[in-house]
Amino acid sequence: MEMISNIGSEVICDFCNGDGRFSMGGVLIGSYAVCGECSANDGYIEIAHHSKEDDSSDYTEVAQLSPVFLEIINELDTIKKSSTNNGYDTIIETENNKYLLRYTNKALGLFSEDEITKLWDLGKTFQENVLAHRKETTGTSDGISYFMSFDEFFKSNKESK
């Protein structure tokens, strides 16, 4: 018996099972989609913050990523300016804050060595990135899984030869 499961536009991180709407950027390692927060925890993404109330142009490193991702996502429709360098370095300006999101040298090195398959755009949510990847690779952004018994699997393999 073959079963088909379609989760539609739902996106979940393969590392933490977090909802893809609440993270930015992310990486693809083989077939594993890793959200921005897990990527940052693994040393692939760094985020710095600059308050517009501060007169200096210095950014300070952000230790707690979840609140920053949520603040950026909650303010996505009020973003004043967003600029990106191929999605690898992204500056996002909201009403009161400015954020610099960038991939670390560690991530760029692993990407060039093919250990990281894809570095996703830091100016987009993890969900947007994964949906675009699904569309690019399968022709649909829906998450579709096929389940079948071993017998059906071996039967379909014999028929395809």
Residue 111 has pLDDT above 80, yes or no: yes
Share of the chain above pLDDT 90, in %: 17
pLDDT tens for each residue of 11-21: 989 999 999 88
- Please state the domain extents for the chain: 3-160
* Strand ranges for 1-148 from DSSP E: 3-6, 27-29, 32-34, 45-51, 60-61, 81-85, 89-93, 97-103, 118-119, 144-147
pTM of structure: 0.69
pLDDT tens for each residue of 43-58: 898 878 776 666 656 6
Residue 71 has pLDDT above 90, yes or no: no
- DSSP state for residue 64 in the 8-state scheme: -
